[in-house]
């Protein structure tokens, strides 16, 4: 029997993502034994430190580096990531396959809707983008950085007025009932790739690539490629206040990009449409429009 070892982080959400990914594969390939292996990342092991510092120590994403190493060392055959956690460039020897259909891309406010939060309300989030976007819309709020997995962050509602989480994670964990409001995409475009799974394999592993060839969704693939190309052109990562949301209609891909200063004092946006056959070209074009509006200065925290 053929065996395929699937790696992921240890969280409940990571396990749910692996289960979601493998369900159709188990039915399609009964002759293949799919085995799940947990890999602890730097960001999981060092929860008290700053994520940016952890990433620098690990030479890449704080939530993907050890999994990439396990792939290269042939300890696993495929890794299922949250795509938004991955650097925009593949490590040498690794390849991202087209993503399966993605879940809800929106951010969710748990605890209370935005309009119901009083002045000075304490809102917990781990993302610089979410902090910046919240402060741009509600400068009276008091965002607080929180760490931990989804259940841990939800427990912070005992001491905070609200927390912001990805709706996709809440849906995948069956925690939909915790959502007070889904934040509008026009004001709160998500992190590039949010809601999508990142399926990573070794570039030279023909068997894994063949087995997983039919798992990707062309629409999702084009959308996330446009979003990630925009981020790459801005030289950003998962710790910068960049939002991107691509949609597809009748073969036309539309990308909305947004950059906000870390303290929410200024925000710029750009939107373009193009063919879904050239998503990276569209991503780079939207990034160019943002750079023409001083996106580089905004990303450095300079309002002007």
- Are 221 and 241 in contact by the 8 Å Cβ rule? The answer is no
Token pair, residue 279, equals 């998503």
Backbone phi, psi, residue 223, to 5°: -65, -50
- Could you say which of 44, 85, 104, 107 is catalytic? 85
Token pair, residue 19, equals 């289960």
85 in active site: yes
User: How many whole angstroms separate alpha carbon 138 and alpha carbon 121?
Assistant: 10
Backbone phi, psi, residue 150, to 5°: -60, -50
User: How many whole angstroms separate alpha carbon 106 and alpha carbon 185?
Assistant: 7
Sign of the four-CA dihedral 92, 98, 103, 104: positive
Which residues belong to the active site? 85
């Amino acid at each position: 029997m053929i065996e395929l070892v699937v790696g992921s982080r240890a969280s409940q959400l990571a396990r749910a993502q692996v289960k979601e990914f493998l369900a159709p594969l188990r039915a399609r390939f009964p002759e293949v034994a799919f085995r799940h292996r947990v890999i602890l990342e730097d960001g999981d092991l060092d929860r008290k430190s700053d994520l940016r510092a952890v990433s620098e120590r690990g030479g890449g994403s704080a939530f993907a580096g050890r999994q990439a190493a396990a792939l290269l060392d042939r300890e696993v055959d495929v890794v299922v990531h949250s795509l938004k956690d991955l650097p925009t460039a593949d490590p040498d020897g690794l390849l991202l396959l087209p993503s399966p259909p993605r879940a809800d891309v929106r951010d969710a406010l748990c605890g209370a809707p935005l309009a119901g939060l009083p002045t000075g309300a304490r809102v917990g989030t781990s993302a610089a983008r979410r902090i910046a976007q919240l402060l741009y819309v509600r400068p009276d709020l008091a965002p607080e950085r929180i760490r931990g997995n989804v259940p841990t962050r939800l427990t912070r509602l005992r001491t905070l007025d609200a927390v912001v989480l990805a709706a996709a994670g809440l849906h995948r964990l069956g925690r939909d009932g915790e959502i007070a409001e889904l934040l509008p995409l026009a004001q709160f475009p998500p992190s590039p790739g949010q809601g999508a799974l990142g399926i990573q394999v070794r570039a030279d592993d023909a068997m894994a690539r063949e087995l997983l060839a039919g798992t990707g969704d062309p629409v999702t693939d084009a959308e996330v490629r446009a979003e990630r190309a925009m981020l790459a052109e801005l030289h950003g990562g998962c710790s910068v206040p960049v939002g991107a949301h691509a949609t597809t209609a009748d073969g036309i891909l539309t990308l909305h990009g947004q950059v906000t200063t870390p303290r929410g004092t200024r925000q710029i946006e750009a939107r373009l449409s193009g063919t879904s056959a050239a998503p990276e070209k569209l991503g780079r074009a939207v990034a160019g429009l943002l750079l023409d509006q001083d996106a580089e200065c905004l990303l450095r925290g300079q309002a002007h």
